[in-house]
Structure 1
Amino acid sequence: MSSAHSLPNTSAKKQSFDTDAILHTENLSVYYGDFLALDNVSMDFPRKQITALIGPSGCGKSTLIRCFNRLNDLIDTCRVKGKVIYRDKNLYGSKVDPVEVRRHIGMVFQKPNPFPKSIYENIAYGARINGIEDDMDELVERSLQQVGLWDEVKDKLDSNGLSLSGGQKQRLCIARAVALKPDIILMDEPASSLDPISTSTIESLIQDLKENYSIIIVTHNMQQATRVADYTAFFNAEESEKGNRYGYLVEYDKTEVIFNNPQEKMTKKYVSGRFG
């Protein structure tokens, strides 16, 4: 299906940055059955930088990041066209193992979802089943240190991960992701269910993590994007010829450009609060 939106060339135009890209998409479109969900996205994601995806509900932000670790494969009706290139390989190539993709591209979800296991096993279990053979005590401590949780839980590692507070649970989930030594961490609104203090803690953590990881974060909170992101991509949604809404990329640039000097009128309207 061809694009019906008013900026057909913007989403198709590949944005290039001085920083070398860890991941890029080429003409990526996603369908659920016959319905278009995300249209023709081409963009680079800079290495060891934080990229925020913003836009109104239904514009395809979560659909996009779920393409990056093949989570959309779990939806029977989902069909992906185009390419997602990581380490010079198309992640949708016929010989690519989605499980291996998820080891290198981790995911943190909107609602904290620790395993119903001990704090220790929340880290160690995932590492073991992914074939990591490090000293497990060291790996658990290192992972919890990276998310600033070690001092809070070191004396209760046998306690159930579900017993932690909301903010602690989310940091445990991030620790579980970093334990696999990924290149990229995807975050789908990781602070939306947290209180302001926990949100601030998660935001500081995200900025610390970019020293070692490339981070792609979906957020509805534009202030959060300005606080944490180096680059920001604005997506919008329109109704297709078949009556469903689909998302497309409007503009992608350094965060200060998107919020202070956007090139597209639609971006300016969104970041100024005139719609969305």
Structure 2
Amino acid sequence: MMTDRETAPKTDEIVLQTENWNVYYGDFLALKGIFLNIPKNKVTAFIGPSGCGKSTLLRCYNRLNDLIPIFHAEGRMTYRGQDLYGKDIDPVQVRRRIGMVFQKPNPFPKSIYENIAYGARINGYKGDMDELVERSLRQAALWDEVKDKLKQSGMAISGGQQQRLCIARAIAIQPDVVLMDEPCASLDPISTLKVEELIHQLKEEYTIVIVTHNMQQASRVADYTAFFNVKMTDDGKRQGYLAECNATEVIFQNPQEEATQQYVSGRFG
């Protein structure tokens, strides 16, 4: 199993660091002993079978799991060296720095313009809102498609456009990290390729972590890939763990773990 010191070259600046991270739901240890580094301005993909804890770990980074009453975690998780779960840390501020894009596009029932402006406004943005909306939509490769529809509902555009609108909304508050939980799962192939192209562009300014079931997608967009696996506990529950993390080409061409080889070659399970 890879250790945290092996998940990224020493030349990469580490933004998120996880050390011996355990996630519990009540008394059940659902995700065990995670050591993982997330490097700056790279795309790190989480792959693995259902129930292996990919999305669970992703949601730990911006403390969304806090909303689950029976969730608690042990170990250490830091953002730029600061303990994300320290007693003095405000989860709302964490989520401002570490944004999230979900599996299903979820634009607000507001205009396209207000989808971008709303979050910036409640976060105290004092600049030119028109400029921010345009810049965010341009960064999300959506401006040319919606610039004449800004007063229309964000729910009236196509699914692929809605997902890019959600990405624009996430980056409008100028986060440092963007988490993406299967952002293309509900999209058609053309929209998927547009989002993948967008991810390549966004990593110039943001650190990106993406959960995907699509191994081809991971191989196309990710600089690093982490393979999570599951083992059955004595009482028949599925416990996730990090089997291996490395540069994407290594994971897909020369993985160290047999389970990784089976998964990426389609022979898993």
Name the TM-score, length of structure 2 as normaliser: 0.97
Q: Does 1:241 align with 2:214?
A: no
User: What residue is the counterpart of 1:31 in the other structure?
Assistant: 24
In 2: Cα distance, 1:204 partner to 1:12 partner: 31
Structure 2: gaps (5+ residues): none
Match of 1:173 among 163, 166, 187: 166
Write out per-residue CA displacement over residues 108-153 of structure 1, whole angstroms, 9 at most, x where no aligned residue: 0000000000000000001111122221111000000001111111
Query: Structure 2 matches for 1:36-47, cutoff 5 A?
Result: 36-47=29-40
Write out per-residue CA displacement over residues 7-39 of structure 1, whole angstroms, 9 at most, x where no aligned residue: xxx266543423111111011111111111111
Q: Does 1:258 align with 2:251?
A: yes
Contact 1:37–1:60, Cα closer than 8 Å, also in 2: yes
In 2: Cα distance, 1:152 partner to 1:137 partner: 16
Shift of 1:193: 0.4
Residue 140 of structure 1 aligns to a residue in which SS? helix
Q: Which moved more, 1:79-88 or 1:227-236?
A: 79-88
Match of 1:82 among 59, 64, 75: 75
Contact 2:259–2:268, Cα closer than 8 Å, also in 1: no
Contact 2:14–2:80, Cα closer than 8 Å, also in 1: no
User: What residue is the counterpart of 1:102 in the other structure?
Assistant: 95
Structure 2: which amino acid aligns with 1:92?
Answer: Y
In 2: Cα distance, 1:219 partner to 1:168 partner: 19
Residue 203 of structure 1 aligns to a residue in which SS? helix
Structure 1: which amino acid aligns with 2:41?
Answer: K
Q: Does 1:228 align with 2:221?
A: yes
Shift of 1:237: 0.7
User: What residue is the counterpart of 1:267 in the other structure?
Assistant: 260
User: What residue is the counterpart of 1:203 in the other structure?
Assistant: 196
Contact 1:11–1:248, Cα closer than 8 Å, also in 2: no
Q: Does 1:126 align with 2:119?
A: yes
Shift of 1:242: 3.3
Residue 187 of structure 2 aligns to a residue in which SS? coil
Match of 2:9 among 11, 17, 20: 17
Contact 1:11–1:40, Cα closer than 8 Å, also in 2: no
Write out per-residue CA displacement over residues 226-256 of structure 1, whole angstroms, 9 at most, x where no aligned residue: 0000000000011123331111000000000
Structure 1: which amino acid aligns with 2:200?
Answer: Q
Contact 1:54–1:232, Cα closer than 8 Å, also in 2: yes
In 2: Cα distance, 1:225 partner to 1:268 partner: 15
Paired residues in the alignment total: 267
**What is the root-mean-square deviation of aligned Cα atoms in Å?**
1.0
1:27 to 1:59, Cα distance in 2 relative to 1, 3 A:
same
1:185 to 1:69, Cα distance in 2 relative to 1, 3 A:
same
Write out per-residue CA displacement over residues 54-84 of structure 1, whole angstroms, 9 at most, x where no aligned residue: 0000000000000000000000000111111
In 2: Cα distance, 1:137 partner to 1:111 partner: 27
In 1: Cα distance, 2:2 partner to 2:125 partner: 39
Structure 1: gaps (5+ residues): 1-9
Residue 76 of structure 2 aligns to a residue in which SS? strand
Q: Does 1:184 align with 2:174?
A: no
Match of 1:161 among 137, 142, 154: 154
Structure 1: which amino acid aligns with 2:58?
Answer: I
1:134 to 1:241, Cα distance in 2 relative to 1, 3 A:
farther
